[in-house]
A and B are shown apart, each in its own frame.
Chain A
């Protein structure tokens, strides 16, 4: 067990080193969520009466800020697995596979690095949100929020690593990511409250772990709970999602890398 932790940390260390050295990547990953929060946040600012009708008092931008934080986490982590494909193409993977470290340690190291990177990107978005006037009633809440973002991103990095390990080409990978990322974001209360979704959409949204994460983060950020979902249920759903995804990713990764690329 300690060996697997040490090995996972080795991979984690390498991934973070690579992240740190690609400054342009840090910025590029910020553009999309920044556009969401700045542009979309203002376009929809007139919808304030709509969200007030479900008991939310603040500005629209404050309502959707948690959604954009989670958007950042979703997209940073779901794209994060792509370097698995590069590693297989350019030989680093074989180098790791012929060393004594275990296959699942490679997967776990990658997932933890991706989730930390996603959380770092999300914290930059929190910074942008604060800069454009979003307020935190209780600034200390940032700590549990970051914890949730890390945990949630770990689950999504699991999806990413699973897809990257299965995909034989970049095209397949990006196709799958696009197929998954946007719908999971849209089918959640990221932009509008659950109560305002048509009921069939609300049912689908309730099957989506993104929904529970956004509800939880929004409750911690603004103090308003919506949709009658208890905090513990949200935490439970997130935990179950993360455990399932990490387990699936480790299993699929181990199985796939043993096949020739």
Chain B
């Protein structure tokens, strides 16, 4: 059974189609990254999944329940951590979790133990009785995330969990997410703008733009599909240079070789498989490699390749009032 499954899911606001006939599924236990530029329809999709919006047409099943027909069952099986921190500042950390526990109908005799458990996980046990107003941004976020998983939901929705946090805190949050994933075997559906984050966290990534899913794959495959890995190497001699180049050109993944005296730059795909082949050839020809490096195109490059070439609408079609109305609706 899939944790999330959509069939021709569509949501329109008047003549604006925010989510346009999308069908995809997320497997149980997956960390699924949902990327896309602002206004792509990510938030709307997330709101449909969390029962905050009803789809115009099509279907979305969360943990097997229909978001329209079985909204209550969906709510019982999801955790939702919003982009804004939503903890109550005037309550203590523990009181916030208590509130969350009650909202999610955790049986009374389990509440305290569950709270202790998540407080430990997010390392806030020692601060639990302080008012949240004294917490740093990162601590608030951790508390928010803890609130989302207190009731052990089957699917955890994280909307930009690290936006506005410093890099150390961001990495810390990734660690927590990974820990949660292992410990509670949850399916995690996360939207983010940080490619690095998606790359390090997610099993699979979906890129959405213009209300449609443009591509879904693992981060590795996406980057490989782009095919432009770069291997730079420096050899120590010009002996056998021509036959070395000949042999290299026979490796199927290599697309282009630039040479600058002893330095070679190879444009390739599947670089990690190419490197051992290079070593085989060099040792056969008795050429010593002084240094070698493999740089990979980042997910940023992948993202831009699917969403970025053009500035939204070209000038001739640009209608200020319409754009204004569109942004207003999307921001709601």
- Give A residues with C-beta under 8 Å from B: 3, 6-7, 10, 13-14, 17-18, 21-22, 90-92, 94-101, 258, 260-261
- Residue B52 is within 8 A (CB to CB) of chain A in the complex: yes
Q: Which of A10, A95, A260 has the most CB of B within 10 A?
A: A95
- Beta-carbon contact of A98 and B52 below 8 Å: yes
- Beta-carbon contact of B90 and A101 below 8 Å: no
Question: Given the complex of chains A and B, what is the CA–CA distance between A13 and B98 in angstroms?
Answer: 11
Q: Which residues of B have CB within 8 Å of A260?
A: 47, 52-53, 332
Q: Which residues of B have CB within 8 Å of A101?
A: 103, 105
- Residue B172 is within 8 A (CB to CB) of chain A in the complex: no
Nearest A residue to B157 via CB reads A98
- Beta-carbon contact of B104 and A99 below 8 Å: yes
**Known A100-B104, A260-B47: A95·B76 in contact at CB below 8 Å:** no
Interface size band for B:
20 to 34
**Known A95-B80, A98-B51, A99-B103: A18·B91 in contact at CB below 8 Å:** yes
Q: Which residues of B have CB within 8 Å of A21?
A: 90-91, 131
Nearest B residue to A91 via CB reads B86
Nearest B residue to A105 via CB reads B103
Q: Which residues of A have CB within 8 Å of B84?
A: 90-91
Nearest A residue to B91 via CB reads A17
List 22 A-B pairs, Cβ < 8 Å. Answer: A6-B105, A10-B102, A17-B91, A17-B95, A18-B88, A18-B90, A21-B131, A91-B84, A92-B88, A94-B52, A94-B80, A94-B86, A95-B80, A98-B52, A99-B75, A99-B100, A99-B104, A100-B72, A101-B103, A260-B47, A260-B53, A260-B332
List B51-88 residues whose CB lies under 8 Å from chain A. 51-54, 72, 75-76, 78, 80, 82, 84-86, 88
Q: How far is the CB of B154 from chain A (nearest CB, A)?
A: 13
- Residue B187 is within 8 A (CB to CB) of chain A in the complex: no
Q: How far is the CB of A104 from chain B (nearest CB, A)?
A: 13
Q: How far is the CB of A110 from chain B (nearest CB, A)?
A: 14
Q: How far is the CB of A123 from chain B (nearest CB, A)?
A: 23
Contact with A along B314-332 (1 / 0, CB 8 A): 0000000000000000001
Question: Given the complex of chains A and B, what is the CA–CA distance between A17 and B95 in angstroms?
Answer: 9
Q: How far is the CB of B147 from chain A (nearest CB, A)?
A: 8
Q: How far is the CB of B26 from chain A (nearest CB, A)?
A: 18
Contact with A along B271-311 (1 / 0, CB 8 A): 00000000000000000000000000000000000000000
- Beta-carbon contact of A95 and B332 below 8 Å: no
- Beta-carbon contact of B72 and A22 below 8 Å: no
Question: Given the complex of chains A and B, what is the CA–CA distance between A7 and B54 in angstroms?
Answer: 23
Q: Which residues of A have CB within 8 Å of B76?
A: 100
**Known A18-B91, A101-B103, A261-B332: A92·B86 in contact at CB below 8 Å:** yes
Question: Given the complex of chains A and B, what is the CA–CA distance between A100 and B91 in angstroms?
Answer: 22
Question: Given the complex of chains A and B, what is the CA–CA distance between A38 and B71 in angstroms?
Answer: 53
Question: Given the complex of chains A and B, what is the CA–CA distance between A235 and B277 in angstroms?
Answer: 92
- Beta-carbon contact of B90 and A96 below 8 Å: no
Q: How far is the CB of A51 from chain B (nearest CB, A)?
A: 44
Known: A6-B102, A100-B75, A260-B53. 6 other contacts (CB 8 A): A14-B91, A91-B85, A99-B104, A100-B72, A100-B103, A258-B54
- Beta-carbon contact of A96 and B103 below 8 Å: yes
Q: Which residues of B have CB within 8 Å of A97?
A: 51-52
- Residue B45 is within 8 A (CB to CB) of chain A in the complex: no
- Residue B262 is within 8 A (CB to CB) of chain A in the complex: no
Q: How far is the CB of B42 from chain A (nearest CB, A)?
A: 15
Question: Given the complex of chains A and B, what is the CA–CA distance between A17 and B131 in angstroms?
Answer: 12
- Residue B228 is within 8 A (CB to CB) of chain A in the complex: no
Q: Which residues of A have CB within 8 Å of B72?
A: 100
**Known A10-B102, A14-B99, A260-B53: A95·B90 in contact at CB below 8 Å:** no
Q: Which residues of A have CB within 8 Å of B82?
A: 91, 94-95
The residue from B75, B95, B105 contacting A98, defined by CB atoms under 8 A apart: B75
Question: Given the complex of chains A and B, what is the CA–CA distance between A10 and B91 in angstroms?
Answer: 14
- Beta-carbon contact of A95 and B52 below 8 Å: no
- Beta-carbon contact of A17 and B90 below 8 Å: yes
Q: How far is the CB of B202 from chain A (nearest CB, A)?
A: 22
Q: Which residues of A have CB within 8 Å of B147?
A: 95
Q: How far is the CB of A4 from chain B (nearest CB, A)?
A: 12
Question: Given the complex of chains A and B, what is the CA–CA distance between A261 and B82 in angstroms?
Answer: 15
- Residue B269 is within 8 A (CB to CB) of chain A in the complex: no
**Known A94-B82, A98-B80, A100-B72: A14·B332 in contact at CB below 8 Å:** no
**Known A14-B99, A17-B95: A100·B105 in contact at CB below 8 Å:** yes
Q: How far is the CB of A137 from chain B (nearest CB, A)?
A: 41
Contact with A along B15-51 (1 / 0, CB 8 A): 0000000000000000000000000000000010011
Q: Which residues of B have CB within 8 Å of A17?
A: 88, 90-91, 95
Q: Which residues of A have CB within 8 Å of B332?
A: 260-261
Question: Given the complex of chains A and B, what is the CA–CA distance between A200 and B85 in angstroms?
Answer: 53
Question: Given the complex of chains A and B, what is the CA–CA distance between A261 and B43 in angstroms?
Answer: 13
**Known A10-B103, A100-B75, A101-B103: A95·B88 in contact at CB below 8 Å:** no
Question: Given the complex of chains A and B, what is the CA–CA distance between A101 and B52 in angstroms?
Answer: 13
Question: Given the complex of chains A and B, what is the CA–CA distance between A11 and B104 in angstroms?
Answer: 12
Q: How far is the CB of B286 from chain A (nearest CB, A)?
A: 66
Question: Given the complex of chains A and B, what is the CA–CA distance between A14 and B87 in angstroms?
Answer: 12
Q: Which residues of A have CB within 8 Å of B53?
A: 260
Q: How far is the CB of B101 from chain A (nearest CB, A)?
A: 9
